[in-house]
Amino acid sequence: MKIVIQRVSKASVTINEEKVASISKGLLIFLGIVNEDTQEDIKWLTNKIVNLRVFGDENNVMNTSLLDVQGDVIVVSQFTLHASTKKGNRPSYIKAAKPDVAVPLYENFVKQLEVDLGKKVQTGQFGADMKVALLNDGPVTITIDSKNKE
């Protein structure tokens, strides 16, 4: 699993001109899934996300976590995170998991994140054409790949 985390002051997801998710202070997480991903990847990533110290403390030093600030989360599926641009100018998405594999893992990721966070996580809609709006706070943008744990 590969994620891109953006610390946001606000973010939203709109599908067909209907806002389906909206948060203020928190994290917008783009999630890319491959066939080899497992529940172990999910548990490792969600634990990392909720404990990642990317929010400012009383001295405005990034020393507090999503749990500490009780921030909100939106998770958006994004198969393009696994694009290969090695050959030519058209990206290949061959590494990205097909929906029959990706959807259950995506749903499990959201459920595990809710357990770790202790509250509801908002989402986009898997496979939909989504318009994502955000106000990146910092800016802070971090990528994490569960295959690079060590």
CATH of domain 2-145: 3.50.80.10
The lowest-confidence range among 44-58, 61-75, 84-98 is: 84-98
**Contact present, 79 and 31 (Cβ < 8 Å):** no
List active site positions: 78-80
Q: What is the pTM of this model?
A: 0.95
Whether residue 95 contacts residue 45, with contact meaning beta carbons closer than 8 Å, is answered with: no
Which two structure tokens, joined as six digits, stand for 68? 């500490």
Q: Where are the beta strands (DSSP E) in the chain?
A: 2-15, 18-23, 26-32, 55-56, 62-64, 72-77, 122-123, 130-145
**Average predicted confidence (pLDDT) for the chain:** 96
pLDDT at 149: 80
Given a cut of 90, is residue 150 above it in pLDDT?
Answer: no
Residue 105, phi then psi, degrees to nearest 5 = -65, -40
Mean pLDDT, residues 30-55: 97
For residues 86 and 147, what is the distance between their CA atoms, to the nearest angstrom? 20
| Per-residue confidence (pLDDT) for residue 82, from 0 to 100 | 92
Mark out the alpha helices in 4-98 (DSSP H runs): 39-51, 66-69
In the numeric block, the tokens 């990392």 are attached to 48
Per DSSP, helices labelled H in 14-138 are 39-51, 66-69, 99-117
pLDDT of 12-22, one tens digit each? 999 999 999 99
Burial class (CB in 10 A: 0-12, 13-18, 19+), 11: buried
Render pLDDT for 75-131 as a digit per residue (tens, 0 to 9).
999 999 999 999 999 999 999 999 999 999 999 999 999 999 999 999 999 999 999
pLDDT > 90: what percent of the chain? 96
